[in-house]
Amino acid sequence: MRGSELPEVCVVGLGYIGLPTAAIIARAGMQVLGVDVAQPVVDTINRGEIHIEEVDLDGLVHGVVQRGLLRASTAIAPADVFVIAVPTPFEKDGHHTPDISYVLSAAREVAKVLKSGDVVILESTSPVGTTERMRDMIAAERPDLKLPGLCAGTPDVSIAYCPERVLPGRILEELANNDRSIGGITPRCARKALSFYKRFVRGACVTTDARSAEMTKLVENAYRDVNIAFANELSIIADAMDLDVWEVIRLANRHPRVNILQPGPGVGGHCIAVDPWFIVHGAPEQTPLIRTARGVNDGKIHHVIARASAMVEAHPDRKVACLGLAFKANIDDFRESPARLVAGTLARRFGGRIHVVEPYTAQLPLEFTDTGASLVDVDTALEDCDILIVLVDHDVFKSVPLAERADKIVYDTRGIWPDQPALDTGPADALRRAG
Ligand code: SAJ
């Protein structure tokens, strides 16, 4: 490929990041092969359809598949640029050890088709040092190639780390517009990756080394986790001191240099609750704050379960509505969701008294089977239930007017109803104001 020609691109991993990335690259006019181990995923994409929910993704994928710019396969093929976007979960050892085996096996497959001049980019959230380990894997597989940092002179292949920082629900917009950190194994690698991202990213692309870029991604999510932990700890303190946490935060945030985040039932999703552990694992002695923040946010889930259970027990004849299962507002993603954990635990404890409202699903997750809990719509919950436990700040819940909930016993873990009056009902009164 010469500088002026559009590169052919192979995107390995067609999940929440890989598929939108492949589609955006194809939209910029490049030929893209998307690779995934799951045949049903490959078949779905080749029909111009999608297997995940994301705003505007269906139309985009349909369009680029129809124009012949994106096709999917289970097999990697030669290309000019390889983008690896595979999962990096934990090992099943119970110690939050990062499992980079998917990255390494993707690198091994890519290595088989690499040729001189190719660029390999890792996008998966990864512990510091993973890009170098990926390079070493390629070196072991292809001793015929000169690799960056391992040879004198100009290497045959460029290798870089470039994390995404997109928000579910806004992925396409943020993929195009967010700034990117591009970390090369060498400065030349970073420049090669930069010229690729410049073709489809409007945000600023800032080059650095691979290890700094890896750490940057982890730090961004750890920063948010620590800040949410502060808000969640405040909410637990407020419960103990019988204060309204939302009022305290609202007032404190009027200080020009204070910006406290929002308490909730805990931190969910596949990123913020996971990535801080990658830092802790890399520097166990140096991470008391990051480790404690994880503990505070996980502990908040159990605090909510305990208080909600006390509320339900205090009113044995009342029906209960748990509002929301998603890990955050206005999305259909229930992975690692604190709301789901709280509602599931209440369903197991209180069975048929528990009604769940989740407009983003047609059926309750498996763990609710045989509990007696039921999925109802918001109107049914407001008519039938006396106790409302707000677990997700979906817009549809926020818009419930005071008149329809004024006489309810409310535990609002998200602070969506600041106008909810305090009822003189003993424990329920305190619970309503608890974060
Ligand atoms: N949450 C609170 N209080 C808040 C903000 C969030 O309790 O004030 C909770 C949410 O309800 C949710 C969790 O935190 O359960 C995470 O939600 P989020 O909106 O903070 O983040 P994610 O997981 O959707 O996306 C994050 C983003 N990272 C940062 O904002 C630093 C996103 O930019 C990353 O690309 C993404 O992680 C990722 O893939 O790493």
Same domain, 152 and 240: no
pLDDT, position 426: 45
Number of domains in the chain: 2
Determine the average pLDDT of the residues in 170-191: 97
Q: Assess if residue 406 is contained within a domain.
A: yes
Name the domain boundary from 176, 209, 242: 209
Name the domain boundary from 181, 209, 237: 209
- Does the structure show a pLDDT above 60 at 428? no
Residue of 353, 352, 320, 356 whose CA lies nearest to 339:
356
Q: Assess if residue 385 is contained within a domain.
A: yes
Residue of 338, 380, 334 whose CA lies nearest to 357:
380
Kindly give the distance from the C-alpha atom of residue 37 to the centroid of ligand 1, in angstroms, as a whole number: 28
- The owner of tokens 């009113």 is 315
Kindly give the distance from the C-alpha atom of residue 342 to the centroid of ligand 1, in angstroms, as a whole number: 19
**CA gap 400, 379 in Å, rounded:** 10
- Does the structure show a pLDDT above 70 at 145? yes
Same domain, 426 and 324: yes
Burial of 2 (0-12, 13-18, 19+ CB in 10 A): exposed
Determine the average pLDDT of the residues in 340-351: 98
- Does the structure show a pLDDT above 80 at 349? yes
Torsion angle of alpha carbons 289, 291, 292, 298, nearest 10°? 140
| Residue 266 CA, closest ligand 1 atom number | 7
Residue of 299, 269, 271 whose CA lies nearest to 392:
269
Q: In what order do the strands lie in the sheet with 320-323?
A: 374-375, 354-357, 320-323, 387-390, 409-412
- Does the structure show a pLDDT above 50 at 427? no
Q: Assess if residue 4 is contained within a domain.
A: no
Per the prediction, the chain carries an average pLDDT of 95
Q: Assess if residue 218 is contained within a domain.
A: no
Q: For 129, what's the count of Cα atoms within 13 Å in the CB-facing half-sphere?
A: 7
Determine the average pLDDT of the residues in 273-285: 97
Q: Assess if residue 1 is contained within a domain.
A: no
- Ligand 1 pocket test target in 126, 180, 224, 297 with most atoms within 8 Å of CB: 224
Same domain, 166 and 313: no
Active site residue 271: yes
Same domain, 168 and 75: yes
- Ligand 1 pocket test target in 171, 174, 221 with most atoms within 8 Å of CB: 221
pLDDT, position 422: 76
Residue of 172, 60, 164 whose CA lies nearest to 121:
164
| Residue 166 CA, closest ligand 1 atom number | 35
* Tokens found for residue 247: 């009022």
Ligand 1 proximal residues by C-beta, below 6 Å: 125, 164-168, 220-221, 224, 228, 261-262, 264, 267-269, 271-272, 327-328
Same domain, 236 and 201: no
pLDDT, position 2: 52
Q: Assess if residue 215 is contained within a domain.
A: no
123 close to 163: Cβ distance less than 8 angstroms: yes
pLDDT confidence bin for 425, thresholds 50/70/90: very low
- Ligand 1 pocket test target in 86, 126, 167, 180 with most atoms within 8 Å of CB: 167
The share of the chain scoring above pLDDT 70, in percent, equals 96
Name the domain boundary from 209, 238, 270: 209
> CB within 8 A of 99, min separation 6: which ones?
88, 89, 90, 91
Ligand 1 atom 14: residue of nearest CA: 267
Same domain, 228 and 203: no
* Helices and strands of the chain, counted as H and E runs: 15, 13
Q: Assess if residue 148 is contained within a domain.
A: yes
Q: Assess if residue 374 is contained within a domain.
A: yes
Show the CA angle centred on residue 372, arms to residues 366 and 377, nearest 5°. 80
Determine the average pLDDT of the residues in 45-52: 96
Same domain, 124 and 269: no
Boundaries of domain holding 304: 223-433
Ligand 1 atom 9: residue of nearest CA: 267
Same domain, 130 and 241: no
DSSP 98: B
Same domain, 204 and 296: no
**CA gap 318, 148 in Å, rounded:** 67
Same domain, 127 and 231: no
- Does the structure show a pLDDT above 50 at 429? no
At what angle are helices 57-66 and 18-27 packed, to 10 degrees? 50
Helices (H), 38-129: 39-46, 57-66, 101-113
β-strand 158-161 against 180-184: which pairing, if any?
antiparallel
Out of 162, 205, 271, 385, pick the active-site residue.
271
The distance from CA 102 to its chain's CA centroid, rounded to whole angstroms, is 18
Out of 10, 162, 192, 217, pick the active-site residue.
217
pLDDT, position 169: 86
Q: What is the pLDDT of residues 222-248, one digit of tens each?
A: 999 999 999 999 999 999 999 999 999
Q: What is the pLDDT of residues 64-109, one digit of tens each?
A: 999 999 999 999 999 999 999 999 999 999 899 999 999 999 999 9
Burial of 174 (0-12, 13-18, 19+ CB in 10 A): middle
Same domain, 144 and 74: yes
> CB within 8 A of 262, min separation 6: which ones?
228, 231, 249, 414, 415
pLDDT, position 421: 86
Active site residue 189: no
CATH assignment at residue 192? 3.40.50.720
Partners of 403 in the beta sheet? none
Same domain, 158 and 305: no
